[in-house]
Amino acid sequence: MQRLYLLFLLKLNFCAFGYGEMHCGLRPFPDMGCQIGRCVNGAWEQICNSIPEITCGMKPIPNIGCQIGRCINGAWEEVCSSMPTSSCGLRPLPDMGCKIGRCVDGQWEQICN
């Protein structure tokens, strides 16, 4: 009976451990005024949108066909959605349990939640 209970607990823990934790590790604690977002490209996003000008500075001027997105990990992201293949190239195949997201800062996002 104890073995059955132990197997049940192991299976429960394995199911609770999602693809995000498998690719990015455990979700860290965010800095003050920030929150932890998605697992992108093997790292957890830290989103600081409460006072982004303090964390990321003034928004820069985007390249043609792009726009300035969110304040992530202390830097503004540049999202190129009008012609993403010219900025990021062809969309790659995602890892198992992940999906390919937006073209950000010249590379495709791989989102593993």
Per-residue pLDDT of the chain (113 residues; tens, 9 = 90+): 555 444 444 443 443 445 556 778 899 998 887 889 989 888 998 887 777 777 788 999 998 888 998 888 888 989 987 776 777 888 899 988 899 998 888 889 999 87
- Reference 112, options 27, 47, 23; nearest CA is 23
- Reference 112, options 15, 21, 17; nearest CA is 21
| Domain boundaries, given as residue ranges, for the chain | 2-111
3 state DSSP class of 7: helix
Position 61 scores a pLDDT of 93
pTM of the model: 0.63
Position 17 scores a pLDDT of 45
